[in-house]
Structure 1
Amino acid sequence: MINLNTLFSAACTKASGAVLASAMLATGCVSPIAGPSGQYASPIGNAPVTANPTPYSEGLVCMGHFARSSGYRAPRIAVGRILDYTGKADIEGGRRVTQGASLMAISAFAKSGARLVERFDTSVSELELKYANNKLIGDDVPEDFRKITAGSIPGSDYYLVGGITELNYNIRSVGGDAFIGDLDPTDTKGSIGAKLYVINVGLDLRMVETETLEVVDVISYQKQIIGREISLGVFDFANGNVFDVGVGGRAQEPIQLAIRSVVERAVLEMMANLYAIPSGDVCSQTEGAISTNSVTGDFVPRGAPLEEYNGPSRAIAANWHDRRDPTLRGRN
């Protein structure tokens, strides 16, 4: 006598195994046992690291080169706290805007050729000073300790502080949906939809003279951010089968990159004020020399001649990538 429960259980087991195998094939090679490499699965994606410029990065770079070529002594700049004052946060995702605006400003000042002094995070320096004061830090000389020298830390001429003060949702949005088809229920039907929406971010920054605490420059900027959504669907009966196909896409200008753009525009205008540069015409005077600068920063090499400066190569996506750099390809 055939046991129906046994047959049903076996069929379910085979079906479950087939579904599991199909899911594993669809999602890639995943094993519950680590392979020879010590991993359960290899991560996807192989995009190289690239530079992260904004539309104002080139202006910062050419301004810094113009200041150096004209013999202008760049001021020493310190960057303080540029905090998020919007108060906008998701229940699960945390803060909606970046908490690293100060770091963006430091990078922007580096592009402009300013001389930077660290005031944002001095925890390591303060700890080293404490150890040196207790004669606990030794340098290369045996049985010797680091001396604390008065006046060894250069001071800043100006410092930058401020905050991100605006994040406004849905300044304006527009959208539409349409359904197309005749009265025959078996004929092809289609739908299409599109939406656009606009938000914005804003910040307020001020530059302060360090010795007198006089506010010498104040800037308030905002930038609008656009997003879009498009959908398309088709529904049809064919040969006794039902086909329901939908495609679509969403895209939004990155909020954090918009904040970086606002920060770089503000830093550019402030440095133009310090350099006494009235407009972007200075970039035409540095044409042909921009190749010696980099939108990732602009620092001279330490302990090497200027000809070995790697600023321009920092923005090349293939550099140092084991599959893209021809000098590294084939070594592994």
Structure 2
Amino acid sequence: MRAVTAGQPAGSRRHKAILQALPLLCLAVSGCSLPGGIRLAAGEAKILVGTPVRDNRTPMDPALACLAERASAKQARVPVIAVGDVRDFTGKFSVGEGNAVTQGGALMVASALGKLGGAVRIAERFDPSIGERELGYSDRRQLGDGRQHVLGGTGAQAPVPWLPYYGGSITASDFYIVGGITEVNYDIRSGGVEARVNSAGPKHRTYTQSVAVDLRLVDTRSLLVVRTISLTKQFTGYESGFGVFRFFGSELFDIGLGAKGQEPLQLGIRTALEEGVLRLAGTAIGIDPGECLSKAGWISEALSTSSPLEVRKASDPQIAKRRHPSGE
């Protein structure tokens, strides 16, 4: 937003009034807000502080909580699932902004498995470097815990300061998940309208893009692919505004007001990966996730809960009634 004057001094009353009104127009039209600030030490300038940290919620939280609850009711053997490399295969990159999509797909998949609670156990295979290093220390009798240990079967021997290791401490996985983000399609559909009369008028535009993820569940022992999943998601953005570009008397005014927004791309990728995890985990557990998939979606109670199971409980009064017959 800007105002340019011609033929009048910069300090004219009309010019000053418009400049003073522009911040108010910003607040009223486009929803601008002024963040607060805090001073961390005496004599320091205040630093801007935005919203507080929160749990990273997605529309799949109620569905994941549903599967966790169904698995606990089934009381079946809890499968051990590992996460392999789930990375970006799109190759989309720009000099100014770097990679177009997240490089943390494997981390998102592991977090999605964590939202299932006790329905599955997660075996670390993505970065086992610390565990492997400490096993190497144990093999060289260098690893200790500050205590003395008596070696098994040799009670007469003096205690040793290093941890004895006889092998077999690492739990085997039953399945692992691998795959990647395979598509990002820009501007698959766009449209809009703009009208101006005497260089003044509104405009509105929309645009759509999409991404796709491909995952597979693999049996760790046989290396047979148990199930494959291919999911896609569209993202919609918009831009709207109103502009004036014209002379009023001897003064030229160029004023633009508007707003634009887009569904977060990386959040959408996380949501797609979580749905893939839900379907693959259902296969590993032996439960059809179809009923739980129907419960995916944003719910207001998710903002005040601390776990996916509580999100599911808040969204289903029957569950709350079964757990608390008094209704409290």
- Shared fold (TM-score, shorter chain, > 0.5): yes
1:141-195 deviations in Å (ceiling 9; x for gaps): 15511222311110000001111110111111112221123xxxxxxx5221111
CA contact (8 A) 1:59 1:280 kept: no
Mark the runs of 5 or more structure 1 residues left unpaired by the alignment.
Answer: 1-26, 29-33, 182-188, 285-289, 299-310, 313-332
Q: TM-score, normalised by structure 2?
A: 0.70
Residue number in structure 2 paired with 1:135: 141
1:195 to 1:211, Cα distance in 2 relative to 1, 3 A: same
2:167 is equivalent to residue 150 of structure 1:
yes
| Residue in structure 2 matched with residue 329 of structure 1 by the alignment | none
1:196 equivalent among 191, 201, 206: 206
Paired residue for 1:267, among 277, 286, 296? 277
Matches within 5 A, 1:27-46: 37=42, 39=44, 41-46=45-50
Is 1:121 matched with 2:127? yes
- 1:91 aligned to which of 80, 89, 95: 95
What is the aligned counterpart of 2:179 among 155, 159, 162? Answer: 162
Distance of 1:241 and 1:293 partners within structure 2: 57
Relative to structure 1, is the Cα distance of residues 171 and 292 closer, same or farther in structure 2, using a 3 angstrom cutoff? closer
What value does the CA root-mean-square deviation take over the aligned residues? 3.1
CA contact (8 A) 2:71 2:287 kept: no
Counterpart code for 2:219: E
Residue type matched to 1:153 in 2? I
Query: Cα–Cα, structure 1 residues 38 and 165, in superposed 2: closer, same or farther, change >3 Å?
Result: farther
Contact 1:61–1:293 (CA under 8 A) maintained in structure 2: no
Matched, 1:294 2:303: no
**Alignment partner of 1:249 is 2:259:** yes
Which amino acid in 1 is paired with 2:261? A
Q: CA deviation at 1:140?
A: 2.9
Deviation at 1:44, TM superposition (A): 0.9
Aligned residue number for residue 321 of structure 1? none
* Counterpart Cα distance in 1 of 2:169 and 2:40: 54
User: Which of structures 1 and 2 has the larger relative contact order (alpha carbons within 8 angstroms, sep 6+)?
Assistant: 2
Counterpart of 2:241?
231
Confirm or deny: 8 A CA contact 2:278 2:289 kept in the other structure: no
> For residues 46 and 141 of structure 2, what CA distance do their matches in structure 1 show?
49
Distance 1:132 1:292 in 2: 42
Q: What is the deviation of 1:235?
A: 4.1
State how far apart, in whole Å, the 2-side matches of 1:219 and 1:59 are. Answer: 17
**1:49-60 alignment to 2 at 5 Å?**
49-60=53-64
Cα offsets for 1:188-239 (capped at 9, x unmatched) = x522111111111001111100000010010001101111111211346557
> Structure 1: how far apart are the matches of 2:75 and 2:305?
17
Summarize the Cα distance change of 1:159–1:35 in structure 2 as closer, same or farther, 3 Å threshold: closer
SS of aligned partner of 1:60 = helix
TM-score (norm 1): 0.70
Fraction of identical pairs, as percent: 40
